A and B are shown apart, each in its own frame.
Chain A
């Protein structure tokens, strides 16, 4: 068992997208420093439910940092102040006794609020639906290792493929751009020969969808790279820029 913390939470409460929202203050006692941030929210919700109040709506699924469901601004940082960490992997030991923690949902026009801390990230799904696939030969299984891939490319593709689509990049971006997300999705396939049949079509259509969803434009502030729980680098954005120009010229 870890130490126990007393905390003051200021959490954004909003019944629906149309309703008016505001910060509500909650006092919590005896929060274990070994608890994760979402477990701390569980404790809060239990207390609220027992008191006959509405629990705080927040999204969480795997609780091991791989699904991309959780996420909120914690004291102004997407997924909290710890680098390369999702909200569910953020632990309360990072906070001090009697801390005040402000929790606000991710905000971007293209990721509208549903309730409290839950946002609608289907815009990200619609972007990937436009090109996040590859052509494969049906029929007999292809010979393993028949396609040779440079080690560096395989590594870079795997790094890009780590994106869990949580939307923190767009949330932290001063322009609410989903450029790092789209860049990671385009990169992971552009770097591999398997992704080449749809190479130009993919980047063109995914970017068109990104613009259509109402995300902003990248202005190279690189905040996205800092908040990304998977440490995805902005060199992927440079690659996306190149791929897009390539699609124009081809």
Chain B
């Protein structure tokens, strides 16, 4: 089979989405969560983590370019898939179709995905591209660098609520994502389906709880 045929086929597309998704979970979301959790250990630990990232220099840029590529692949192929799926039922059902015990998360995938994409843009603007301006880093009269910037950001209740909501969405997306990707890549053997589904929910919940704990920390302090 030619690679072009594979890429344009329905299975090829979804396997590419599954693969890029798994990569993003493993090397982007989980390390990002672990890094951000350093904030719970205080300003020094968190700024140390930020410094460590910056010290990677060129390597970090390559990793970031790889993240960007994975995101683009994941998003572009999903858009193609969703459009095709919409066309596959050109005449919709006229009566109410019972949604069989289908997980809410699975039905919401394209929507939660779109919300996460929008969030990504805002989030990059907020933290990654923002200059560590002296004013934004000052927290309670002390220049605390990136730590101060995070604390200042969450001082705004709208931003705080928004972030908490988005983290719920991310958790919902991931709770379907992991088991779905494993099914698509046939890494979810029949007799372990229950455990893989459980693992997927666990991932979704942990990511939400992990990131929200940072927001709670910011509120408490």
A residues bordering B, Cβ < 8 Å? 10, 12, 23, 73, 75-77, 81, 102, 104, 107-110, 113, 172, 174-177, 179, 200, 204, 207-208, 210-211, 214-223, 226-227, 233-235, 237-242, 244-245, 247-248
Contact = CB atoms under 8 A, between A and B. Distances in A.
5 smallest CB-CB distances across A and B, nearest first, come from: A216-B88, A76-B98, A175-B85, A242-B186, A176-B88
A110 B88 contact: yes
5 contacts: A10-B95, A107-B92, A109-B91, A174-B102, A241-B14
A204 B1 contact: yes
B5 A220 contact: no
Interface in B159-204: 176, 179-180, 183-186, 188, 190, 193
A226 to B, nearest CB: 4
A220 to B, nearest CB: 4
Contacts of A221: 102-103, 106-107
- The interface residues of chain A, by DSSP majority, are classed as mixed
Interface in B63-103: 81, 84-85, 87-103
Nearest to A220: B180
Contacts of B44: none
Contact of B81 (A75, A76, A217, A222): A217
A40 to B, nearest CB: 18
A244 B183 contact: no
Nearest to A22: B94
Contacts of B188: 238
B11 interface: yes
A239 B102 CA distance: 21
B184 A241 contact: yes
A214 B88 CA distance: 6
Assign chain B's interface to a size class: 35 or more
A75 B98 contact: yes
A109 B84 CA distance: 11
A104 B102 CA distance: 21
B116 interface: no
B1 A247 contact: yes
B98 A174 contact: no
B11 A219 contact: no
Contacts of B89: 107-109, 175-176, 216
A222 B190 contact: no
B185 A241 contact: yes
A207 B91 CA distance: 23
A75 B179 CA distance: 30
A218 B190 contact: no
Contact of B6 (A75, A104, A248): A248
A219 B14 contact: yes
A13 to B, nearest CB: 12
Nearest to A224: B100
Contact of B84 (A108, A216, A245): A216
Nearest to B80: A217
A179 B11 CA distance: 9
B43 interface: no
Contact of B85 (A76, A104, A176, A233): A176
B102 to A, nearest CB: 5
Given A216-B84, A216-B88, A241 B94 contact: no
B100 A219 contact: no
Contacts of A176: 85, 88-89
Nearest to B90: A109
Nearest to A106: B93
